[in-house]
């Protein structure tokens, strides 16, 4: 591990010199690429230097302990410093192991989130709207930008289906474990007997795919236009600005009618289509690597029931990691960092275990 860290530090110093070189800065594409590599290495190098500083402190303090002129009080202080540095080193070594884990190349990408009402009719659509609000409030707390790609509402304030983009540094790394079936247990407003109903909503989190990530052959696309429509007659467009794109080889269909411009709807629909096809390709790769699949907390499997939101008990339970929190109101208002941090920690632990076994 330390040979690798030494190599990373040398490369980091080399990159620091390169990105400060005016000759390199003249080629902006190359300069951005080097800056990205430098930025990715920074937390590893900083942690490694912290490790070396503590190691150095132990060596210097140990050497001073052998000095006969050092009095007992100062030796006690040196021993305390050695003990503290050893404790820090133990923690830093574990942090370095995690930092050296292979990074998901999609972690820094923006995401497209797709939410669909499942079993439960109107109640599922209402909960889909609640989840959409939860994720947009979470994005707001991170100062990320959200943009609706496509929206299909029902008249009572529910959402049949919504696709929206979240743009922000590390959006995919934070939200990638949200894909799956979200179950809600609560008394619907329309229920006069006060009985608890169970409904489901599916969430899919797709890394935004650039054209360089996934190229689509225009000959594989069937593009249809139609008139946009909305709940209760709202946002009805008199021109055929809504777009439906069918990817003929896979049968994947994407619709977009949120914008009044046909061109903008087509652009958004292509973004969603590219991301869906890219995610399907990633899924195939992940399934092909059995060991890697075992190391995952549950990204991408939309049929897996991942979480239950029980309103009468005020609890939210994530079934993959056995986590239950009694703060449903805060969670529905976008306070989901505690769940996300626990999922990331579990995923890292499982990957570390696999790495050690390998």
Cα dihedral 220, 225, 226, 229 sign: positive
Q: Is pLDDT larger for residue 2 or for residue 343? A: 343
What's the predicted TM-score (pTM) here?
Answer: 0.71
DSSP 281: H
**Per-residue pLDDT at 273 exceeds 90:** no
* Domain definitions of the chain by residue range: 2-99, 111-350
Distances (CA, A) of 125 to 46, 54, 322: 47, 55, 27
For residue 210, the 8-state DSSP code is P
pLDDT in tens, 238-269: 556 788 888 888 888 888 887 777 878 888 88
Please give the Cα distance from 148 to 214 (Å, whole number). Answer: 22
Contact 202, 180 (CB under 8 A): yes
Is the pLDDT confidence value at 5 over 60?
A: yes
Those residues whose C-beta lies under 8 Å from the C-beta of residue 26, and which sit 6 or more positions away, are none
The HSE-up count of residue 279 (CA atoms within 13 Å, CB side) is: 24
Residue 235 predicted with pLDDT over 90 = no
- Running DSSP on this structure, what letter comes out for residue 283? H
Query: Which sign, positive or negative, has the C-alpha torsion 7, 11, 12, 14?
Result: positive
- Give the rounded distance of the alpha carbon of 209 from its chain centre: 14
The answer to whether the CB of 350 falls within 8 A of the CB of 297 is yes
For 111-350, CATH number out of 3.40.50.1980, 3.10.310.40, 3.30.70.1660, 3.40.50.720 equals: 3.30.70.1660
pLDDT tens across 148-199, in order?
A: 988 888 878 889 989 899 999 889 999 999 999 999 999 887 666 778 889 9
Query: Which of 67-71, 78-82, 288-292, 350-354: highest mean pLDDT?
Result: 78-82
- The CA distance from 7 to 30, in Å, is 22
Angle (deg, nearest 10), helices 72-99 and 337-357? 90
pLDDT score recorded for residue 104: 80
Cα separation, 25 vs 36, in Å, equals: 14
Phi, psi for 203 (deg, rounded to 5): -125, 135
Element (H, E) at 55: helix 28-65
């Amino acid at each position: 591990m330390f040979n690798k860290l030494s190599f990373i530090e040398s490369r980091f110093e080399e990159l620091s010199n390169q990105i400060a070189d005016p000759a390199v800065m003249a080629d902006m594409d190359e300069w951005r690429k080097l800056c990205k590599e430098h930025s990715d290495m920074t937390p590893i190098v900083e942690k490694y230097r912290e490790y070396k500083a503590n190691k150095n402190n132990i060596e210097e303090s140990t050497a001073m302990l052998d000095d006969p002129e050092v009095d007992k009080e100062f030796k006690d202080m040196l021993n305390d410093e050695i003990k503290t540095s050893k404790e820090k080193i133990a923690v830093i070594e574990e942090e370095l192991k995690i930092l050296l884990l292979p990074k998901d190349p999609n972690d820094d990408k923006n995401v497209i989130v797709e939410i669909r009402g499942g079993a439960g009719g109107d109640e599922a659509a209402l909960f889909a709207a609640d989840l959409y609000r939860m994720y947009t409030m979470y994005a707001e707390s991170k100062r990320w930008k959200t943009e609706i790609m496509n929206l299909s509402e029902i008249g009572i304030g529910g959402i049949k289906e919504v696709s929206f983009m979240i743009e922000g540094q590390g959006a995919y790394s934070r939200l990638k474990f949200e894909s799956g079936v979200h179950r809600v247990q609560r008394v619907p407003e329309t229920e006069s007997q006060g009985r608890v109903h169970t409904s489901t909503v599916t969430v899919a989190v797709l890394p935004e795919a650039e054209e360089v990530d996934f190229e689509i052959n225009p000959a594989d696309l069937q593009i249809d236009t139609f008139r946009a429509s909305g709940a209760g007659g709202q946002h009805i467009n008199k021109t055929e600005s809504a777009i439906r794109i069918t990817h003929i080889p896979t049968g994947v269909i994407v619709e977009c009618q949120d914008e009044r411009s046909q061109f903008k709807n087509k652009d958004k629909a292509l973004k969603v289509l590219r991301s869906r096809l890219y995610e399907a390709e990633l899924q195939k790769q992940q399934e092909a690597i059995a060991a890697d699949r075992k190391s995952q907390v549950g990204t991408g499997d939309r049929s897996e029931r991942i979480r239950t939101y029980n309103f009468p008990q005020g609890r939210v339970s994530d079934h993959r990691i056995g986590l239950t929190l009694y703060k449903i109101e805060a969670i529905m208002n976008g306070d989901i960092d505690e769940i996300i941090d626990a999922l990331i920690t579990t995923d890292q632990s499982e990957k570390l275990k696999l790495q050690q076994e390998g």
